[in-house]
Amino acid sequence: MMNSYEQTDSVVNQMTDNFFGKYVILPGQYSLLDSQVIELTPKNLRIIIGDNPNKMLDYSVSDTRLRYYEGRPINALEIRIDNLSKVNVKPGDAIINLVVDLLYLRTPSMIYMTYEEKNKVFTLKNLNMATIAVLQKI
């Protein structure tokens, strides 16, 4: 039989793993990002823009940690991002201006992802807890 620490550790691992995967940015938020893809792995956060060729903003992730409230884990993941690599993105690109300057997704920084069970949506938030995008897992 598992003790309560092992059960809690298992729940935390399951909750953390739930955040990793591919997401679509729900339409109607920012026209440049409508229906684009975000992928979160333990090592990277990628924003993939479906152009020809695809543009990609690739943030390296150095740490992820589930957030707690009153000693219990909640559906919120803290993500430490360190570096930004740009693939097929030209200087002055409108996507860069939107994501980095307007939405304040800069490095090094901390960002957050939350999950709302009722509507089955995830929200990506910047360091100031301002919403970057509402996402649906695909």
Please work out, in degrees rounded to the nearest 5, the angle formed at the alpha carbon of residue 133 by the alpha carbons of 99 and 104.
Answer: 35
The sign of the torsion formed by the CA atoms of 104, 108, 109, 110 equals positive
The sign of the torsion formed by the CA atoms of 79, 83, 84, 87 equals negative
What single-letter DSSP state applies at residue 98?
Answer: I
How many domains is the chain built from?
1
Closest among 71, 64, 34 to 50, alpha carbons compared: 34
CATH number of the domain that residue 91 is part of: 2.40.128
Digits of tens for pLDDT over the chain (138 positions)?
Answer: 444 444 567 888 899 999 999 999 999 999 989 999 999 999 999 999 987 788 999 999 999 999 999 988 899 999 999 999 999 998 889 988 899 888 999 999 999 999 999 999 999 999 999 999 999 999
What's the domain range around 51?
A: 4-137
